[in-house]
């Protein structure tokens, strides 16, 4: 009986206690993520390489170039920073309300339900590029860091990022060895020399590395995506397993967990509160873009000049995380200046509403594109050029910027957010706003 009276304090964040800047940037990041995801949702094998499908000239090439320069990894970076910031916001609020050990109970229940939503997004809604699952996996590791000081959070985040960079460099060196051995074997074969078993293997490895998907393979995959729901579920099984096993181990550990820790540090530095001076955010903008966009430009132009050579793309990957980090920092500076300026107030309020409904809107991306692209819907998969996909992006943006504020005038939360909070607090939350 004694604990019952305390439970009323442990409620989801109220509208009054929300940090507006967090919601606005979350809304921007949520919409921005679709700029990149749409390529994986609507085209086969062409997320990073437009020469495989979707077109690699004219508007298609321009769209690819702008995305690689400004948005590849950076919108995800923003979203991940905010996830880390949210850990501090949630746990500090619970602890200040006297939740004690129940802070961990609530936190881990919230994260485990996020993992379930991620599984649904992958296996039911059919988006293999889901980030909710890895967010939940690494979110399980963040709780012990909530009281870590800023310096150590930054060191830990940068250390993880550095491990990823070093691994990318090691992989590229391995690729160079594969190329060298393969070309040597090819030269011997051209001279009609008899290859040893090892040389045959070297040649096979190089040919496998250096071969892109053929038009026939692309067309065959498109045909599979035009089938019914269960056929697509079966076809996507191997990719889903790859994204939920190898990818977290090899990529997400350094890509996501590092940014989560940095996001926790940014929150403690009150960067996302809008309390810093304009000059602080201007320095973030200039420094971030100067370093980040320079690296991105070198990477992007080298890939373009090589005509999307696979080895060159892997070489560019060595500096990918560094360019992504600094460009994301530049974005934070730019968006915080935008928020502090108060300009385009109506747009800012709409973006904040999108951010407050981020989970609903993120899953909505999967629902809409699944219906549009796959065979049980409108079968547009592989049928549009890369630049034409952005007509769909624009339509979704407009819809969510209009829909989200209207919804939040009637309801306290987005529908998935309401469900998530009810499951987290093990109590049905107020949903409809009483007039």
**299-334 CB burial, b ≥16 within 10 A, e <16:** bbeebeeeebbbebbbbbbbbbbbbbbbbbbbbbbb
Question: SS3 of 375, please?
Answer: coil
With CA atoms as reference, report the closest residue to 129 among 193, 34, 209, 13.
34
**What CA–CA distance (Å, rounded) separates 170 from 424?**
42
Are 324 and 75 spatial neighbours (Cβ–Cβ below 8 Å)?
A: no
Residue with tokens 């050579």: 309
Are 271 and 338 spatial neighbours (Cβ–Cβ below 8 Å)?
A: no
Report pLDDT for 11: 57
Report pLDDT for 19: 87
With CA atoms as reference, report the closest residue to 288 among 255, 254, 334, 257.
334
Are 8 and 427 spatial neighbours (Cβ–Cβ below 8 Å)?
A: no
Are 433 and 412 spatial neighbours (Cβ–Cβ below 8 Å)?
A: yes
Dihedral angle over CA of 204, 205, 208, 210, nearest 10 = -110
**What CA–CA distance (Å, rounded) separates 73 from 65?**
14
**Residue-level pLDDT, tens digit, the chain, 435 residues:** 334 334 444 555 555 546 899 999 999 999 999 999 999 999 999 999 999 999 999 999 999 999 999 999 999 999 999 999 999 999 999 999 888 899 999 999 999 999 999 999 999 999 999 999 999 999 999 999 999 999 999 999 999 999 999 999 999 999 999 999 999 999 998 988 888 999 999 999 999 998 889 999 999 999 999 999 999 999 999 999 999 999 999 999 999 999 999 999 999 999 999 889 999 999 999 999 999 999 999 999 999 999 999 999 999 999 999 999 999 999 999 999 999 999 999 999 999 999 999 999 999 999 999 999 999 999 999 999 999 999 999 999 999 999 999 999 999 999 999 999 999 999 999 999 987
With CA atoms as reference, report the closest residue to 243 among 128, 406, 111, 362.
128
Question: SS3 of 226, please?
Answer: coil
Report pLDDT for 16: 52
For residue 429, give the DSSP letter.
Answer: P
Q: Token pair of 254, please? A: 């350094």
Task: Tell me phi and psi for residue 380, to 5 degrees.
Answer: -90, 0
With CA atoms as reference, report the closest residue to 138 among 197, 210, 53, 80.
80
Report pLDDT for 192: 86
């Amino acid at each position: 009986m004694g604990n019952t009276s305390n439970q009323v304090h442990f409620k989801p964040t109220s509208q009054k206690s929300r940090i507006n800047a967090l919601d606005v940037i979350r809304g921007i990041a949520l919409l921005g993520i679709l700029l990149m995801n749409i390529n994986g949702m609507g085209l086969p094998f062409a997320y990073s390489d437009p020469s495989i499908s979707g077109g690699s000239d004219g508007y298609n090439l321009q769209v690819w170039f702008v995305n690689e320069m400004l948005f590849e990894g950076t919108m995800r970076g923003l979203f991940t920073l905010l996830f880390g910031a949210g850990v501090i916001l949630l746990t500090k609020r619970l602890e200040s309300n006297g939740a004690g050990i129940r802070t961990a109970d609530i936190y881990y229940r919230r994260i485990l339900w996020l993992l379930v939503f991620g599984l649904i997004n992958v296996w039911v809604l059919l988006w293999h590029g889901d980030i909710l699952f890895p967010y939940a996996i690494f979110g399980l590791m963040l709780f012990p860091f909530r009281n870590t000081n800023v310096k150590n959070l930054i060191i830990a985040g940068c250390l993880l990022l550095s491990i990823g960079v070093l691994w990318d460099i090691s992989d590229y060196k391995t690729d160079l060895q594969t190329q060298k051995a393969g070309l040597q074997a090819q030269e011997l074969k051209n001279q009609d020399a008899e290859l040893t078993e090892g040389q045959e293997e070297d040649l096979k490895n190089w040919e496998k590395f250096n071969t892109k998907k053929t038009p026939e393979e692309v067309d065959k995959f498109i045909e599979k995506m035009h089938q019914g729901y269960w056929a697509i579920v079966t076809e996507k099984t191997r990719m889903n397993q790859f994204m939920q096993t190898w990818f977290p181990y090899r990529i997400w550990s350094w890509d996501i967990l590092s940014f989560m820790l940095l996001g926790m540090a940014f929150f403690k530095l009150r960067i996302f509160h809008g309390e810093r001076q304009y000059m602080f955010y201007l320095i973030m903008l200039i420094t971030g873009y100067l370093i980040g966009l320079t690296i991105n430009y070198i990477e992007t132009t080298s890939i373009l000049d090589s005509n999307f050579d696979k080895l060159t793309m892997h070489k560019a990957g060595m500096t990918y995380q560094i360019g992504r980090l600094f460009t994301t920092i530049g974005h934070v500076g730019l968006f915080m200046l935008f928020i502090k300026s108060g300009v385009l107030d109506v747009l800012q309020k709409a973006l904040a509403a999108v951010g407050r409904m981020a989970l609903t809107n993120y899953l909505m991306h999967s629902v809409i594109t699944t219906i549009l692209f796959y065979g049980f819907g409108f079968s547009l998969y592989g049928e549009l050029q890369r630049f034409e996909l952005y007509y769909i992006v624009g339509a979704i943006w407009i819809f969510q910027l209009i829909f989200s504020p209207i919804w939040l005038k009637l309801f306290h939360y987005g529908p998935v957010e309401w469900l998530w909070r009810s499951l987290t607090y093990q109590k049905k939350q107020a949903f409809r706003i009483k007039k």
